[in-house]
Structure 1
Amino acid sequence: MAQDAEDGPDFLDVEQHGWDLNSPLYNNNTSRPPMNQEEFDKRFCYRTPRSSNILKERASALLRYYYRPCLSSRSMTNFFLNLFPILQWLPNYEWKNWFASDIVGGIVTGVMHVPQGIAYAQLAGVDAVVGLYTSFFPPLIYMFFGTSRHNSIGSFAVVALMSNVAMNRLFDAREELSNNFNNASDSNPSPLSPIIVSSTLACCIGLVTLAMGILRLDMISTYFSDQVKLN
């Protein structure tokens, strides 16, 4: 106990610091009448904080995010450099050290995507050439907007199966409707085809994804489980 007292801090010298303990600031037995919260707020001119509108704040933050690059040429340059990362890494690309390895990796990835694209096209219920297009064009677009050196863009088995399910559901509903109106179906054959349905579905999903990116809704993915993200 004595050891604890020795290790503890020294008592403050009130006289040395010139503190007056009889002052109303330290005196608990002051003659000030008690006050409730309302009287206290009225006496000291308390101002009620404004109620914040979350949607309005998010909209203002979104507008600031998009008009801030227009305030200066440097901000505009940084905005386009972030939007098109190829403008940053291509001038700094080490051709002597990386080009040969990247060519070999591209050939291996391309050879792998040929049978994979054909197989996934069959799963989606479209022609095999569509799977080759799906494996060829996305990497070209990703080259301008992507930042990963090791990412391989291509078709996906689960997405192909889900597209096939959506097409079959649409064709079944249209066939049932045509059976109820035989005369109309005979005179007006159905213009729908698997490629039209899959293209429309891909376009709609792309527009939704673009809108979510513009609205900065990428935080929603943090609430998805790993099974949903991977499968």
Structure 2
Amino acid sequence: MADSTAPEQSRPLNIGMLLYPNFTLLDLAGPHAALGMHGMTHLLWKTMDPVWTDTGISINPTTTFANAPTDLDVIFVPGGHGTGDAMRDKDILEFLAAAAWSARFVTSVCTGSLLLAKAGLLEGRRAATHWAFYEPLEAMGIEASHDRVVVDGNRYTGGGVTAGIDFGLTLLAALKGEATAKFTQLAMEYDPQPPFKEGHPRTADPLVVQAARAATAEMNQQFVESARTMT
């Protein structure tokens, strides 16, 4: 039997990216910058109405759940402020479970992994998420990893927000080969040189980490409650 995850250089990718109210735009835009030039992107939602992100920018779906392709190479889930509500949305969870059944790669960035877990798609797997939200992932019995990108079989998960670019290039290498991923990185001029070392608690000033944890505590608790709620 052929390896369903082997790179296919010539065939355009078929990429499904979930939308939901109050997701984080960069969670989706970063991976799409890496993957989008190599195939067709389907922006998936219940209806064709615009979906508002958590920064006040709306995105137009291209395909409804009902009309989503069944031969996706990638099903992708972003994170964001709306993750807790999405974890309680039966329509979203049922769609993800169905889409993942036939997709070659089941993926997420940031708190999108909480949605994958809630849909039953990370059982027995390691997964990444935003550093402030390991607790809700662990509340669902998932081993939370502090790595920026985690690969566990055909489950690819990225850490918080900007990790989506690293995630996208890593996934692209699996889909199209390392040469294509390297070319894409150069085309994107992805050469990160952050002005500060505050991108993760392992390098950030403890006082900055303390302030960030306080700012995200209420959202973290909401996500934990959603993780423990039966849907």
The interval holding the TM-score normalised by the smaller chain is under 0.3
* Structure in which a larger fraction of residues adopt strand: 2
Which gives a bigger RCO, structure 1 or 2 (Cα 8 Å, sep 6+)? 2
Question: What TM-score do you get using the length of structure 1 for normalisation?
Answer: 0.21
Question: What TM-score do you get using the length of structure 2 for normalisation?
Answer: 0.21
